[in-house]
Chains A and B, each alone.
Chain A
Amino acid sequence: MIPGLPLPSPVLVAAGCGGTGRELAAYAPLSTYGAFVTRSIALDPRPGGPPPRVVESPSGLLHATGLPGPGLEGFLASELPWLLQQGARVVVSVVGATIQEYAEVCRRLGRAPGVAALELNLALPDAVAAGLLDAREPFVAAGVVAAVARDLPRGLPLLVKLRPDVLRVVEAARTVAEAGADAVVVGGAQPAALPDGRPAGLSGPAVRPLALRCVAEVTAALPDLPVVAAGGIADTADARSFLAAGACAVQVGTALLHDPTTAARIAAGLTEEPS
């Protein structure tokens, strides 16, 4: 359980994989999911990077989108009200070019009515290329969390998405928890490269075993810290294995790009008895 964030379903839509919400809503009501994590929102609008942005790889997708987005004002004006109207529990993913930008975006989101929680995206596999803060060192991640937590309204849960670096993920989870994170998101995209050498993230079934190892390491070392698992979860059995490893919820991402009904089916599947 994540304090302050009741989840009617442990299945969340992962950041960057639900479009603006409108596209995903065509396949199942957004209230179906435990929460809808938005694409990562920065202070200013971002056009995103050059194509190709998403490239197929065996059992995975490589992505270097450059995080296109409407910026904070655009998000608050158009995307957030629509998501809330749909009955979505909205977790806003946040990125920034500096620690100050993270803090400012979070401060203003903290005043926006209806936001259920924030998720600091400190797991960007292509941060430098995208002109954003590179939080690969755990102490940098902790610095962002401390700056954000200082000004956050009481009771607004703060999730922190960590780089899925198996060797350092426990250290990162511990430092961000000490700095004020209420929960961590563990597993996501692995740092990789596009065929042309540009930095990218690798997601999908290819990363699932690595993600499971990361989740298991963190839950074993920090049993009191809520862990949301991400990384290649594509069916109910995958979700169960991450929950069995100690995660309190799972995020479904790349599988939605393959089949937009996946997360809704997993949410339904988890309510049934295991066969």
Chain B
Amino acid sequence: MTPAPGPVHVTGEVLATKVVGAYTHLTVVAPDVAERFRPGTFVALSVGETTGATRLARRALWVHQVRPVGGYGPALQLVVEPVGPGTRWLAALTPGSRVEVTGPLGRPFALPKEPVSCLLVGEGYAAAPLFPLAERLRERGCAVNLLVAADDEAHLLSALEARRSARAVTVVTRDGSVGMKGRVADVVVGVLERSGAEVVYAGGRVATLHAVAAAAEDAGAWSQTAVEQPLACATGLCHGCPVPVVGEDGVARTVRACADGPVFRGDRVRWAELEDRSA
């Protein structure tokens, strides 16, 4: 039976943790969440003990992989960058820990109906959702080109794996420690041209997404951007994560990053305004 659409709130179990560079990869089994996952959707985890929690905001995490784990069914691999008290708590979880999981949340990437050439641009941990997306695109016969970027090698997600899953891979780091030295904005126009992509998918900082969306528009390609904003509830209830967009009707409005996104058409986001806000 196909599971009902929409998110669930369940208690999950941490099966494994692994430190990779600057990130901790958490493998979590959460009933019914993995089965409903589609690339671009995300999950939110509670921080702290389940009773008497002093931290109320959820931590939203990208799903890097969905893989069956023997005896457990499909498990989620989540990418945590331990930078604050909440993400440090999550990164320090040990196998066997219980954790509250809500998901999958948000709207996924739209997949092309035809087998077209695609460029996937991922920066830092926000590259995570592009890997399950690449699998889905390849299943549909799409040519997948990847551009993976980070500040340095430690923050580069899965460059090795990228080489296995894509036709062409470009790696760029700010400090030049791996691949080319520079930013996405410096190389995206050239990569887009070489790939001949008709659809561009991207995850990363707002400025990076802006550059990708602009390059796609100039090249006449569709773009789909996964916009990350600080989320308090991640479920659409609190209206706390505004994204300025232009609607299908041409009218400017403000929507929610979590429930109306995180994936938006690149030509619909009012990037300059979002960049000012994120600065």
Contact = CB atoms under 8 A, between A and B. Distances in A.
A274 interface: no
B1 interface: no
A23 B237 contact: yes
B9 interface: yes
Contacts of B102: 259-260
Interface stretch (A13-21, A92-100, A165-173, A216-224): A13-21
B56 A51 contact: no
Contacts of A56: 55-57, 86, 232
Contacts of B208: none
Interface of B: prevailing SS:
loop
Interface in B238-279: 238-242, 253-254, 259, 277-278
Interface stretch (A61-69, A108-116, A120-128, A132-140): A61-69
Contacts of A258: 46, 53, 56-58, 233
Given A68-B254, A204-B56, A258-B58, A19 B232 contact: no
B31 interface: no
Contacts, number: 110
A260 B242 CA distance: 20
A19 B239 contact: yes
Contacts of B57: 54, 56, 61, 257-258
Given A68-B254, A258-B56, A51 B242 contact: yes
Given A16-B239, A17-B237, A256-B237, A54 B254 contact: no
A260 B240 contact: no
Question: What's the interface size class on B, roughly?
Answer: 20 to 34
B196 interface: no
Contacts of A63: 232, 238, 240
B56 A257 contact: yes
Interface string B211-252: 000000000000000000110110111111110000000000
B71 to A, nearest CB: 27
Interface in A235-275: 235, 254, 256-261
A54 B232 contact: yes
A59 B54 contact: yes
A87 interface: no
B7 interface: yes
11 contacts: A17-B237, A23-B235, A52-B240, A56-B55, A56-B86, A61-B56, A65-B238, A254-B56, A257-B56, A258-B58, A259-B102
Interface of B: 6-9, 46, 51, 53-58, 86, 100, 102, 229-230, 232-233, 235-242, 253-254, 259, 277-278
